[in-house]
Each structure stands twice: as structure tokens, then as C-alpha cells.
């Protein structure tokens, strides 16, 4: 994998459904993996910064896992709510401290 790739590109779920997205990234020269939440007409806001293989982080109903050896991270949302509707971006950081962003997963939660 040469770039940061996210799937699916978009996702429509019903309120109360649980959902998850995938972020795949090059595993070489890995320093950190960031997840951001980006609501329409606003700016991206950080959810998690993960660095260690096997890391798991949680914030309310949202959690994330990290596998640096195989180069992927999962973001989970339990019991989706309409206010969770946003684009979820992941970004990989290497030793240069630059973030390379994926194209995002656009989530729409229907009431």
C-alpha cells in the first residue's frame, strides 16, 4: 500500500446501528495514525492519535484499533446517532511529522 486508503467511501446507516470503517496505510516508517471527524461547513477535529501496535482508544461511543504490522486501523461507532453524520478522516504520520490523509468515509445516519 503506497497511500492512505479508506473504505467505504460513504455509508448510510439507520439511527441505532453500529458501524465501522477501515483505514489502510503503508506500515514502513510509521510513527502515528490520526483519526479526525469533519462535519460539513466546519473544520476537522481530532478524535484519536494512535502510535503503538495493538492500541485501542475510546471516546464515548466511538473507538479505534491499530495494527501497525499489517498497516490498518478500524474506527467503530456503536449505536450511531444523527449527530455522528460527518466525514471521518484518517491520516498517517511518518518520521517527518507530516500527515498524509486518506480521502475519508462519509457517514450519514438517518433518524
Partner 1 sequence: DAGVIQSPRHEVTEMGQEVTLRCKPISGHDYLFWYRQTMMRGLELLIYFNNNVPIDDSGMPEDRFSAKMPNASFSTLKIQPSEPRDSAVYFCASSFRTSSSYNEQFFGPGTRLTVL
Residues that bind partner 1 in the complex, under the rule CB under 8 A: 31-32, 34, 36, 42-46, 49, 51, 89, 93, 96-104
CB 101 → partner 1: shortest distance, Å?
A: 5
Closer CB to partner 1, residue 11 or residue 33? Answer: 33
**Which of 74, 76, 78 lies closest to 90 in space, CA to CA?**
74
| Nearby residues of 24 by Cβ (< 8 Å), 6 or more positions away | 1, 4, 5, 6, 7, 71, 72
Closer CB to partner 1, residue 46 or residue 108? Answer: 46
Residue 98: how many CB atoms within 10 A of its CB?
10
CB 111 → partner 1: shortest distance, Å?
A: 27
Closer CB to partner 1, residue 15 or residue 56? Answer: 56
Q: Cα–Cα distances in Å, from 79 out to 5, 10, 90?
A: 25, 18, 21
CB 105 → partner 1: shortest distance, Å?
A: 12
Closer CB to partner 1, residue 76 or residue 101? Answer: 101
Distance CA 67, CA 78 (A): 20
CB 50 → partner 1: shortest distance, Å?
A: 9
Amino acid at each position: 500500500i503506497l497511500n492512505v486508503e479508506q473504505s467505504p467511501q460513504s455509508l448510510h446507516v439507520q439511527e441505532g446501528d453500529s458501524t465501522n470503517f477501515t483505514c489502510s496505510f503503508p506500515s514502513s516508517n510509521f510513527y502515528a495514525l490520526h483519526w479526525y471527524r469533519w462535519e460539513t461547513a466546519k473544520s476537522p477535529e481530532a478524535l484519536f492519535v494512535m502510535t503503538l501496535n495493538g492500541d485501542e482508544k475510546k471516546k464515548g461511543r466511538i473507538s479505534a484499533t491499530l495494527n501497525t504490522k499489517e498497516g490498518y486501523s478500524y474506527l467503530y461507532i456503536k449505536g450511531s446517532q444523527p449527530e455522528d453524520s460527518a466525514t471521518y478522516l484518517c491520516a498517517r504520520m511518518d518520521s517527518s511529522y507530516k500527515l498524509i490523509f486518506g480521502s475519508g468515509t462519509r457517514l450519514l445516519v438517518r433518524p
